[in-house]
Structure 1
Amino acid sequence: MYPSASHPSYGIFVKNQVEALKRAGIHVDIAVNDNPAVGKKNVIIKYAKWAMRAMQLGRKGKKAYDVTHAHYVFPSGMLSLALKKMFGIPYIVTAHGGDIERMAKKSARIRNWTAQILTEADHVIAVGPVLAEQIEQDFGIAKQNISVLSMGVNRNVFTAGDKQAVRKQLRILDNKFVFLFVGNVIQQKGVEELVAAYKRVKKQTTKDIELVIVGSRRDMSFISNIQSQVDATVRFEDPVQQTQLVKWFQAADVFVLPSHLEGFGLVALEALASGTPVIASNVGGLVSLLGDGAGKLVPAKNSEALSEEMLRALHTPRDQYVDEEAVQAALTLHDEVTITEHVIDLYDAASKGGEQR
């Protein structure tokens, strides 16, 4: 996945890492899929173009490239595996969660490919500790061959701002309490539970509240169902560039991420960096990110528990609701600069046959 002008949020976390590596002095060429279109014909065409680009680059061999880095185990890792076998270029693969939780379970063939990609990788990166443990246990990958590294947050982009000023730009009244969701508007992101929880909150408060949902709305049958359940206080916005997205975080009072599964939950980290309290599901990488007090965790697929926490956030002063020390610890651990340094160390080790500097 990689963003484009038409789809600015599609795989933006991969582009962010590419740009961070370039700023650190690493030469990076990319073979990417920037087209989220579905349907058999679209999929065949875009994957064929993607594979051709990877093979064109790979022909330059080890004289040109020290390592390839695949994001998502399957199918991306298949290209890195092929380049290693054909041209001897070592590779690192980052597992993001859906590739292990969903893709590998689609068929025995895909699971076998996933296992081969992980086994033959020079190193595996998991974006969260739960995912790393799953890779170790389910695919027999040695613990020392797995690193837990999130994609990191650029704290020059995601930073606290002038709430009143950004609200004026985004047409949000100063007196409103705003709950924010950012992500694909799909079932797996817990949007149904979020809407149900928000409706409960509305019934139990006299405060003026609003729910803003920012994200791609490709599943129109799901969207129609959601829109039929909400009133005018629920606002839908299209995906935006990150320089605009940070304004939504800055304008919101609370960010809510009720995912059913989440390899890491980078948007929650971006919200924290923007000074916005976070409520999220107690799943995947969100547990390690928020579990030490940086945010509030609730059971997944439980709209009642979610509404109770949203009400607590609504009626609790911010300085009592947020553990600033825990937030700063999370931001320091997942700072993009620190993450990039670790990734470069892994590249060095892979290109030298395992001798990490």
Structure 2
Amino acid sequence: MRVLHVIPSISPLRGGPSRAVIEMVAALRLQEVDAAILTTNDHGPGLHPDLVTGRWREHQGVPVLAFRRWSPPVAALREFAVSPGLSLWLSRHLKDYDLLHIHALFSYPSTSAMAQARWAGVPYILRSIGQLSPWSLSQSSGRKRLMLRLIERRNLQGAAALHFTTGAERDEATALELAPPTLVLPLGVRGPEPAAGAAGGRDSAAPVRFLFLSRLHPKKRLENLLDALALLLQRRPDAPWELAIAGDGEPRYVAGLQERSRRLGLETRCRWLGFVEGEAKWQLLQVADWYVLPSAAENFGIAAVEALAAGTPVILSPEVAVAADVERCGAGLVSGSDPEALALALGQALERPSLSMRTSALNLAQMEFSWSTIALQLRDAYRQVLTSSAGR
């Protein structure tokens, strides 16, 4: 079974969905699925320095074919990840594959791949990465409504299946009244190497360590977290805590966040670490007492699951889809994302999580978000899609 995964970017700067597809393909290949990735050399505002374009190369252990992202002076077109070379290659090689797994909407590589697959009669599964949620559809709503009317609704309706990572994400899309069957299957995490945090460890005498690790984007509501911590500082000025902020974003926006933290009197409590990945990321997760994400919308929340895999409890807003699992298993706290509610949760978190909560966090990650188990289920879903498509 040959399956081509199409995604606009595999840059780590694009967050969890781009990172997850590499691990998904690696896990599928271990289950004897001939899976590969077709993408662009997008790397946030620039172009990916490690991706050779125009020919197949192994990248992080999986086969990747990247084409150049057109970089016009108009920012909106750069975000659309226009890549004529990708579309031309796909038109010539689409029928070499049994199935396409498309990741993302409203982006040239994904949109054009679905349209070509419809015309060629090649089945495809779409993972919408949360872009069908009301919050996401409300962002740049005019452009998205136009794209839905012109092409994306037909792409959605033509899918052999729609892949959602949580039931909550699936439920959010029901208002669109889409016809294809749905597949609810989470993403996975590999977890840290056993030695990754050996040099660190949690020091009970140290300040309580809060960690925000994500893209710095308005959707993540870091502003609310800063405001909540300012309230906590007013109410408990002697309480020892610190916030590590790991991530990057649009420079003007990041500068505004840093200015906000200074204005709130948090500059001595906040550490701005920039983008962090690899072993350094796992060390941050392992030494943190709490991972905090008060996001406005997360169809999954892969960084939160990585925290769980590091044995670190999480503080999540209800809009983070895995929050329901966390609450059910006692693997952290779920709090409203408004500053007042969040300040109350952070005050509770000053007591540090219990050993049983840490154990619950680790067990949740290992039992429900293992790539080996998810890859088996995904392989079976592919087979079912191909059987159904052959019977049409």
- Common fold, TM-score beyond 0.5? yes
Task: State yes or no: 1:127 paired with 2:174.
Answer: no
Q: Does 1:314 align with 2:356?
A: no
Pick closer, same or farther for the CA change 1:99–1:222 going to 2, 3 Å: farther
Q: Is the 8 A contact 2:164 2:186 kept in 1?
A: yes
Structure 2: distance between partners of 1:160 and 1:272: 17
Residue 300 of structure 2 corresponds to 264
Query: Over residues 162-203 of structure 1, what are the superposed CA-to-partner deviations in whole Å (9 max), with x where a residue is unaligned?
Result: 46x2269xxx99623210001112221010111111222233
Q: Is the 8 A contact 2:129 2:164 kept in 1?
A: yes
Moved more, 48-57 or 231-240: 48-57
Q: Which runs of 5+ in 2 are unaligned?
A: 1-7, 46-70
Q: Of residues 180, 200, 203 in structure 2, which corresponds to 1:166?
A: 200
Instruction: Give the match for residue 175 of structure 1.
Output: 206
**What does the per-residue CA deviation read over 1:121-162, in whole Å, with 9 as the maximum and x for residues that have no partner?**
0111112212101223323335xx11112221113x377964
Residue 340 (structure 1) aligned to one of 370, 375, 381: 375
- How far did 1:68 drift? 1.0
- Paired residue for 2:277? 241
Query: How far apart are the structure 1 equivalents of 2:365 and 2:159?
Result: 29
Q: Which residue of 1 aligns with 2:60?
A: none
Distance 1:166 1:316, change over 3 A: closer
Alpha carbons of structure 1 residues 14 and 276: separation in structure 2 relative to 1, 3 Å: same
1:207 positional shift: 3.6
Q: Distance in 1 between matches of 2:130 and 2:204?
A: 37
Cα RMSD (Å): 3.1
Alignment CA distance shift 1:344-1:238 (3 Å): same
* Count of aligned residue pairs for this structure pair: 345
**2:62 counterpart residue number:** none
Matches within 5 A, 1:144-293: 145-155=181-191, 157=192, 162=197, 165-166=199-200, 175-203=206-234, 204-221=236-253, 223-224=255-256, 225-229=259-263, 230-292=266-328, 293=330
Structure 1 counterpart of 2:217, which letter?
Answer: I
- Over 3 Å counting, the alpha-carbon distance change for 1:304 and 1:46 in structure 2 is closer
Shift of the 14–150 alpha-carbon distance from structure 1 to 2, 3 Å rule, reads: same
2:381 partner letter: L
Mapped contact 2:316–2:335 kept (Cα < 8 A): yes
How far off its partner does 1:87 sit?
A: 2.9
Answer yes or no: is the 8 Å Cα contact 1:69–1:80 preserved in 2. no
Measured after TM superposition, the shift of residue 92 of structure 1 is 0.6
Q: Would you say the 8 A contact 1:289–1:330 is kept in 2? A: no
Q: Distance in 1 between matches of 2:240 and 2:179?
A: 51
Aligned partner of 1:72 in structure 2 is 104
**Consecutive unaligned residues in structure 1, runs of 5 or more:** none
C-alpha deviation, 1:341, in angstroms: 1.6
CA distance in 2, matches of 1:30, 1:3: 9
Give per-residue Cα distances to partners, 1:6-36, cap 9 Å, x unaligned.
Answer: x485721222222222333332332223332
The answer to whether 1:57 aligns with 2:90 is yes
Larger relative strand fraction? 2
Q: TM-score, normalising length from structure 1?
A: 0.84
1:341–1:350: structure 2 CA closer, same or farther, 3 Å change rule?
A: same
> Is this contact kept in 2: 1:160–1:275, CA < 8 A?
no
Structure 1 contact 277–295 (Cα < 8 Å) conserved: yes
CA distance in 1, matches of 2:227, 2:339: 6
Q: Which amino acid aligns with 2:32?
A: G
Distance 1:327 1:115, change over 3 A: farther
